[in-house]
Chains A and B, each alone.
Chain A
Amino acid sequence: MVTRMKILIVEDDLEAAAYLAKAFREAGIVSDHASDGESGLFMASENTYDVLVVDRMLPRRDGLSLITELRRRGVHTPVLILSALGQVDDRVTGLRAGGDDYLPKPYAFSELLARVEVLGRRKGAPEQDMVYRVGDLELDRLSHSVRRQGKEIPLQPREFRLLEYLMKNAGQVVTRTMLLENVWDYHFDPQTNVIDVHVSRLRSKIEKDFDPPLLRTVRGAGYMIKDDRTSDT
């Protein structure tokens, strides 16, 4: 039995908050809502959440100060910042204030959902595992080697990092922008389908001579690596 993820949405736009709550519920995530910074701070300190989704501009206490205050109180719940500001350094100030991820408005809900799920399961993520496994695919982070069914698959360094990120978040949707951010460390919009081409190259390497397919394209969202034969864990 998988415990359902519980998140707190701090957003002053009630309509947007209602839409988010509904969309999260359909995705199997329970959410609470706070409509200003002070009540958001109170709820986040009093209850336990897996993830906080915080709007940057809020009445009574802005999003950044909410996060700073939470961190000062020793609450380390992962925070995703939503912001309508689009300045180049906006992300940097957000992350510096103690946020864990940052999503500029307007965003696709699939993007937000993917990021919230990655943040929320981070607790259990095998950060210190030296070997990631998905089905018969094995990635050794120490020796930088990838094997499938015992056979070594040679990968370029970037392909290795791509696969590493996908496997670290195995079973979860990873969006193209998440890949660009985490594998290439750039946050701009590459316009063309550059990420898709990289992924399809990786896919051909790990799936060409093997069965079953592991790396799936999730329509309208991104990619997910998962072994279909094993049940959800």
Chain B
Amino acid sequence: MSKFSVLFRTTAVRLSALYLVLFSLCAAFLVFYVTGMSERLLQQQTREAIAAESAQVEGVYERAGVSGLLRSLERRARQPGANLYVIAGPSGEILAGNVAGLEPGLLDDEGWTSEPFRYRRFTDEGGAERHVALAQVLVLDNGLRILVGRDLQEPEKFRALVRQALMVALGIMGLGALVIWFGIGRNALKRIDRMSEASTKIMAGDLSQRLPMSGSGDEFDRLSESLNAMLGRIEKLNEGLKQVSDNIAHDLKTPLTRLRNKAEAALASTDGGNQSGALEEIIAESDQLIRTFNALLMISRVEAGSAPAEMSDVDLSQIVADCVELYEPVAEDNALRLESDVAPGVVISGNRELIGQALGNLIDNAIKYAEGAANPSIRVEMKKSDRHVMLAVADHGPGIPEDMRGEVVKRFVRLDESRSKPGTGLGLSLVEAVMEMHRGSMELSATEGDERGLTVRMVFPAAAT
């Protein structure tokens, strides 16, 4: 019973029960309306037939008198399916006709019987009036009463039959609904049970678990799908968090140790000049730490997704022009040419600061690593197609081997030979996070026409116009 009550609490079962009740009400109303209407129609037809017959009977009496009337009624009464005929004396005693008994007082008033009445046939046994009829009573000038009527059994039977059919149909419907409820409800309950089982495991800490999908594409599957996408995101964020804490342990402790060592050395030193030099080094070291810390925080915040308020329509061409202009003198000081080929007036939805920072990181990287390259040029290019805006920074430096391209995007990962260069090891991670936030992507490849060299492409979705 409790299982049944659980079943009844499922939405599918509740809804179908509601529909069943509504449908039954409508069906019942329809049937009663139809039978009622047909009954009224039949009664009206009956009355019309009786009225016609009465007129005929009255005519016979006027033409042929009482004897003619009697003959005529005898003949009519013998016909198959005949109407009811009664000739009665002024006091109501039945003189002739095909009716054995009537409700008393029925013949007292002339005209229509006010409602269907009961009568007894000659073929009936016992004294009760069992049949139902409708009749008109005529009073002749000699006091005789004539009743012309018609039996109502046929329409009554018809109505009973229709109602019975309705009851049976409703019964079958109810039974069918019960079976379907049970099927649907049990199926739904089973799937929900499986889903809660999976979520219990997830809550226990196994974030790799996914909700089961039946592959039918129904509402449960759609729900599972979006919940699974959510779980994927949570898993990724969680991994990111884990990675960050691991990296903090590795890459922040080292400079902290250096910082502490320097402070100790400064404290131990008695030479004032040494001391202030060491303090300056400490400040520089902590500035670098702060910088690393800020970059880490920024990446985490960008990856965690940002409020749409931070996004607005920005002129990407202008940002690129700004960055090129900002870095151009530094490039020149490093004996590099910073060339740009930028489509004008490209507007996308984005965050100006973050795009500027990302592009700045790429140009900065290119300047750092392309120094002394055979082809001392860095090319910033922006192209717009129907669906994408592609922004690329290409250099002719040592490049990144293909198998390392996935690695360098990770936080703090730097190629061995680049340890000598300053940097946090977070530049490309930030670019990737920024691209993800803009629903775009970052691609690394070798520079075209150069077996070495690195090209980083930032691909933005084109703004819907």
Contacts and interface: CB of A to CB of B under 8 A. Distances in A.
A2 interface: no
B356 A197 contact: no
A198 B325 CA distance: 10
Contact of A189 (B294, B310, B322, B351): B294
Interface in A165-193: 184, 186-193
A106 B294 CA distance: 10
Contacts of B364: 190-192
A186 B322 contact: yes
Contacts of A205: none
B250 to A, nearest CB: 21
Contacts of A192: 330, 364, 367-368
Contact of B330 (A187, A194, A220): A194
Interface string B354-389: 101100110010011000000000000000000000
A188 B360 contact: yes
A194 B359 CA distance: 14
A88 B322 contact: no
Contacts of B322: 184, 186
Contacts of A87: 301
A198 B327 CA distance: 9
A158 interface: yes
B333 interface: yes
Contacts of A189: 291, 294-295, 357
Choose among A86, A88, A184 the residue with the greatest number of B CB atoms under 10 Å from its CB. Answer: A88
Nearest to A107: B290
Interface residues of B, number: 35
A192 to B, nearest CB: 6
A188 B283 CA distance: 20
A232 interface: no
B326 A194 contact: yes
Choose among B291, B294, B298, B330 the residue with the greatest number of A CB atoms under 10 Å from its CB. Answer: B330
A190 B294 contact: no
Nearest to A201: B329
A158 B422 CA distance: 28
Contacts of B290: 106
Contacts of B280: 220
Given A89-B307, A191-B423, A192-B367, A186 B353 contact: yes
Tell me if B's interface is mostly helix, strand, loop or mixed: helix
A188 B298 CA distance: 11
Given A87-B301, A88-B306, A106-B290, A188 B423 contact: no
B321 to A, nearest CB: 11
Interface string A184-221: 10111111111001100100000000000000000010
B292 to A, nearest CB: 11
Choose among A86, A186, A191 the residue with the greatest number of B CB atoms under 10 Å from its CB. Answer: A191
Given A188-B360, A189-B294, A197 B307 contact: no
Contacts of A198: 326, 329
A186 B314 CA distance: 13
Contacts of A220: 280
B30 interface: no
B330 A193 contact: yes
Interface string B309-340: 11000000000001001110110010000000
Contact of B333 (A104, A186, A197): A197
Contacts of B295: 189
A190 B326 contact: yes
Given A189-B294, A194-B326, A88 B351 contact: yes
Contacts of B227: none
A106 B322 CA distance: 27
B229 interface: no
A136 B388 CA distance: 52
Interface in B267-311: 280, 283, 287, 290-291, 294-295, 297-298, 301-302, 306-307, 309-310
Contacts of B309: 89
Contact of B301 (A88, A106, A197): A88
A88 B360 CA distance: 16
A186 B354 CA distance: 10
A189 B287 CA distance: 12
A194 B329 contact: yes
A147 to B, nearest CB: 24
Given A189-B294, A191-B364, A88 B354 contact: yes
B355 to A, nearest CB: 10
B422 to A, nearest CB: 8
Nearest to B284: A220
A188 B326 CA distance: 12
Contacts of A188: 353, 356-357, 360
Contacts of A104: 294
Interface in A95-114: 104, 106, 108
Contacts of B325: 158
Contact of B297 (A86, A108, A194): A86
A173 to B, nearest CB: 17
B307 to A, nearest CB: 7
A87 B297 CA distance: 9
Contacts of A187: 353
Contact of A88 (B353, B367, B423): B353
A214 B357 CA distance: 32
Nearest to B286: A106
B456 to A, nearest CB: 16
A104 B294 CA distance: 10
B367 A197 contact: no
Interface string A23-44: 0000000000000000000000
A201 B331 CA distance: 13
Q: Top 7 nearest A-B pairs by Cβ distance?
A: A188-B357, A197-B329, A89-B310, A197-B330, A186-B356, A194-B330, A86-B297
6 contacts: A186-B352, A191-B423, A192-B364, A192-B368, A197-B333, A220-B280
Interface of B: 280, 283, 287, 290-291, 294-295, 297-298, 301-302, 306-307, 309-310, 322, 325-327, 329-330, 333, 351-354, 356-357, 360-361, 364, 367-368, 422-423
Given A184-B322, A201-B329, 8 more contacts: A86-B294, A86-B297, A86-B301, A88-B302, A88-B351, A88-B354, A186-B326, A189-B295
